[in-house]
Structure 1
């Protein structure tokens, strides 16, 4: 059995769509469909059935799903096991975009100094997508936001840094009250469909602020550039030194309370990884590098 076909079958089941699975895998839908037919011929059983525009596993397909993840993980471990040089290979790392612009470059610099022959395959995405890729054995670790549900025993999480909300403003506004800026200046809004943008929206509502919205976009770094150009102010998670700028300032905002009286928690960034991986020694090094970088970042 071609382990790639099995991995792609799991992706099809996870997405419920051959076309979406093909898009995420970087293949054509026809290629994925051909692989699924080859897998069915090899096993001599029907694995998928169409239901409208989606596909669902048959009873046999569901049984393959139940064992498939373990088989893919074992294949990954076997590849690592037979590598003759134990410090040479590939570490598959996922990251949220804000970490890439924040402290991840420091982490990668420290890691590659310790493991110069390890290649890092970096995937950028939002936290739910990275988590899905991790549990499907497509990633070894992910630098992402804290998830809102309990993790399975096969996955571990270590928090690295908290990212409280800050107001981004021009340097000439550094002495102004941040809430006054949010009330009176145009807002370059962080996308409300993202965790940080949703956090900012809840904060504005808690403070009773109805801002004059000018632009809404999904990049904190782009928001910083627009604020520097005088297009308004931003309310975003503090990603660290990535928000530094000669004509830009960051202003801390007063905390707000939850309905139960507790202070609303800031956004939390950490490292998520699979426990059963032969790349675990590299993940451990990556975690130490990330912890060191988090201590030195503002």
Structure 2
């Protein structure tokens, strides 16, 4: 089976028309239609239903679309493994929200210039989910909070950034003692089911602080906005900008800075793009990091 036929089939399903797929592939609509006919003849099933300019997959087409995508990706991976001096194919990485805005944008221009044949796909998500996606080979790598356990030997890890905890308080708050602020105000808790939230929770427990809690959220940006609106105070990592615009808040550092949220790059050693991901490390390092990055784990 010619994989170009599958590429044409996937392009039509994703774009909804033969004309759009042809423009994407740089072919004529007639050439794309011929590929689909050849594919249908080989599979001996109609794969697409045409209704005017729109095209939708049949039941048989729906049945093979995901396997077709996996097959095409496998072919691209084989090309990447066989090509020693040139990176090509699809690279799938994940990123938590603060890494998506604070790290990725500043490296993409150089990345695309250095690796023009890489098709980059970025999946946003929470660290726990992205971690499992990498371990299970659903992603090639991910920018996540450092797990609270040892990285498995099947994966590599590079710490890129360490973020100290700070107390967020409304701009109108005049108190300067961060512990007193937490104790005496309604507390907006960083979700304890998240690895970053566990760091903040560890600080509270070690200092025997049991604040009056109103909300528990997994979005740092939402917490900052609520503090700005005087809903309460919070304890969060001092993440890389950008922060939401127009915030009326104060950031008060803690007396103990040993507890920090660490952000890093996780990758799967077995990924065909493992070498490329390791070469991404220096591009991802923040230009003005508050803390020196930690050592790599093998």
Sort the TM-score into its range (normalised by shorter chain). Answer: 0.5 to 0.7
Report what 1:197 is aligned to: 197
Report what 1:251 is aligned to: 252
- TM-superposed CA distance for 1:248, in Å, is 2.3
The separation in 1 between residues aligned to 2:136 and 2:72, in whole angstroms, is 8
Unaligned runs of 5+ residues in structure 1 are 1-29, 40-70, 257-262
Structure 1's 145 and 109: CA in aligned 2 closer, same or farther, altered over 3 A?
same
Structure 1's 116 and 185: CA in aligned 2 closer, same or farther, altered over 3 A?
farther
Tell whether 2:292 aligns with 1:296: no
Task: Give the structure with higher Rg (CA).
Answer: 2
Q: Which moved more, 1:220-229 or 1:147-156?
A: 147-156
Tell whether 2:284 aligns with 1:283: no
Report what 2:208 is aligned to: 208
CA contact (8 A) 2:73 2:90 kept: no
- TM-superposed CA distance for 1:166, in Å, is 0.9
| Alignment RMSD (CA, Å) | 3.7
Residues 99-139 of structure 1: per-residue CA shift (max 9 Å, x gap)? 22433332334423433553321112233322222132221
1:1-298 to 2 correspondence within 5 Å? 77-81=77-81, 86-173=86-173, 176-243=176-243, 246=246, 247-255=248-256, 265-291=259-285, 293=286, 295-298=287-290
Specify the SS of the correspondent of 2:242: helix
Structure 1's 254 and 177: CA in aligned 2 closer, same or farther, altered over 3 A?
same
Specify the SS of the correspondent of 1:268: strand
- TM-superposed CA distance for 1:82, in Å, is 6.8
How many residue pairs get aligned? The number is 229
CA contact (8 A) 1:101 1:221 kept: no
CA contact (8 A) 1:189 1:215 kept: yes
Specify the SS of the correspondent of 1:119: strand
- TM-superposed CA distance for 1:208, in Å, is 2.4
- TM-superposed CA distance for 1:178, in Å, is 1.2
Residues 69-99 of structure 1: per-residue CA shift (max 9 Å, x gap)? xx9997663143578x945432211112332
The separation in 2 between residues aligned to 1:297 and 1:109, in whole angstroms, is 20
Structure 1's 201 and 276: CA in aligned 2 closer, same or farther, altered over 3 A?
closer
CA contact (8 A) 1:169 1:232 kept: yes
Residues 36-70 of structure 1: per-residue CA shift (max 9 Å, x gap)? xxx9xxxxxxxxxxxxxxxxxxxxxxxxxxxxxxx
Q: TM-score, normalised by structure 1?
A: 0.64
Specify the SS of the correspondent of 1:254: coil
Structure 1's 140 and 215: CA in aligned 2 closer, same or farther, altered over 3 A?
same
Residues 230-263 of structure 1: per-residue CA shift (max 9 Å, x gap)? 111111112122336552222111228xxxxxx5
Structure 1's 245 and 297: CA in aligned 2 closer, same or farther, altered over 3 A?
farther
CA contact (8 A) 2:160 2:263 kept: yes
CA contact (8 A) 2:128 2:195 kept: no
- TM-superposed CA distance for 1:149, in Å, is 3.5
